[in-house]
């Protein structure tokens, strides 16, 4: 994630992993480490286009994007163009729960986004922002981005798949916070598997 940002040119990053595995937190920390980058974070709703457009407009307002500079979209095609304009101006746009664009009411968006992504990729090699899409349903993210018939096939420049903690990682966490005795390890592994969020909630 850091390497895609440090290139100081257009990137399109895919981050996948089950819910609560830490995708959003990881991306937020990576952006924070960059310091001065302007970001727009949007959590896509499992809804129709009107709900997604409203959420997108709310996110623009929340992150201080003025409609005079970047018009708030009235359609999914407008939304793709606004994302393109934001990225061309150096903004990092994050679309969380991207898998919902596989739903029929939203499916056209990926074709609009394809055109925007292709224009961004064809720009001269100069500093710009990037697009990060997060998804928790692997099969649907694969259908959207990796299937040869998908509009966005072969457009992703960076991939990060977050997996469960392995046993060694859980033992390391236990040593930092409590005793790593086998009984405790087995109990917590049975309850939480390797999902970081559940362990953090447990300690809190």
pLDDT along the chain (204 residues), means of 10: 56 80 67 72 94 96 92 96 95 93 95 96 79 86 93 92 69 75 74 66 71
* H or E stretch covering 184: helix 182-192
pLDDT of residue 12: 95
- List the chain domain ranges: 2-161, 167-203
Q: How far is CA 177 from CA 39, 165, 172, in A?
A: 34, 16, 9
The model's pTM: 0.76
pLDDT of residue 5: 47
What is the distance, to the nearest Å, from the Cα of residue 57 to the centroid of all Cα atoms in its chain? 18
Exposure string (b/e) for 110-139, b if CB count within 10 Å is 16 or more?
bebbbebbeebeeeeeeebbbbbbbbbbee
Write down the H helix ranges in 76-181: 76-88, 108-121, 138-145, 167-177
Class assignment of domain 2-161? alpha beta
pLDDT of residue 80: 97
Euclidean distance between CA atoms 12 and 21, whole angstroms: 21
Name the burial class of residue 56, with classes exposed (0-12), middle (13-18) and buried (19+) by CB atoms within 10 angstroms of its CB.
buried
Euclidean distance between CA atoms 13 and 5, whole angstroms: 10
């Amino acid at each position: 994630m850091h390497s895609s940002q440090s290139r100081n040119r257009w990137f399109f990053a895919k981050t996948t992993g089950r819910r609560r595995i830490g995708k959003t937190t990881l991306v937020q920390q990576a952006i924070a480490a960059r310091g001065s980058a302007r970001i727009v974070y949007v959590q896509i709703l499992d809804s129709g286009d009107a709900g997604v457009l409203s959420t997108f407009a709310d996110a623009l307002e929340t992150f201080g994007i003025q409609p005079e500079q970047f018009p708030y979209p009235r359609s999914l095609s407008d939304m793709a163009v606004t994302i393109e304009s934001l990225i061309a101006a150096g903004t990092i746009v994050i679309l969380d729960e991207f898998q919902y664009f596989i739903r029929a009411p939203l499916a056209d968006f990926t074709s609009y986004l394809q055109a925007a992504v292709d224009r961004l990729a064809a720009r001269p090699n100069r500093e710009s922002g990037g697009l990060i899409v997060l998804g928790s349903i692997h099969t649907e993210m694969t259908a959207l981005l990796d299937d040869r018939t998908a509009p966005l096939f072969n457009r992703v420049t960076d991939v990060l798949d977050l997996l469960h903690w392995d046993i060694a990682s859980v033992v390391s966490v236990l040593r930092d916070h409590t005793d790593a005795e086998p009984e405790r390890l087995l109990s917590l592994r049975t309850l939480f598997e390797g999902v970081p969020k559940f362990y953090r909630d447990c300690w809190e």
